[in-house]
Amino acid sequence: MNERIRQLAEQAGLSLSQKDYSYYWVESNEDIEKFAELIVKECAQAFEAEVDTWKEMDPYQGSIKRKGTQAIKQHFGVEE
């Protein structure tokens, strides 16, 4: 399992299976919802970081970053 995904799963409150350490137990719908929200936020942050590298687009960089991040979060219904 990807290390960052494992960290997000633990942050969401999911617990590793005692039988097979490559699977997580989901205790509730809230746990899986929290996990999904963390993944979406991580994707939005990765997008922001990528746009920050676009130095040649400086006049539009901030607008692209705000709109792109907002679009990702809105698409999945994730708020800050």
Q: Report d(CA 71, CA 48) in Å as an integer.
A: 12
Q: Report d(CA 42, CA 58) in Å as an integer.
A: 23
18 neighbors 10 (Cβ within 8 angstroms): no
58: part of which helix (H) or strand (E)? helix 58-76
Domains contained in the chain, number: 1
Residue type, 58: D
pLDDT digits (tens, 9 = 90+) for 23-72: 667 778 888 899 999 999 999 999 888 888 777 666 767 788 888 889 99
- Tell whether the model's pLDDT for residue 18 goes beyond 70: no
Alpha helices in 17-57 (DSSP H): 29-52
Q: Which structural domain, as residue segments, surrounds residue 23?
A: 3-76
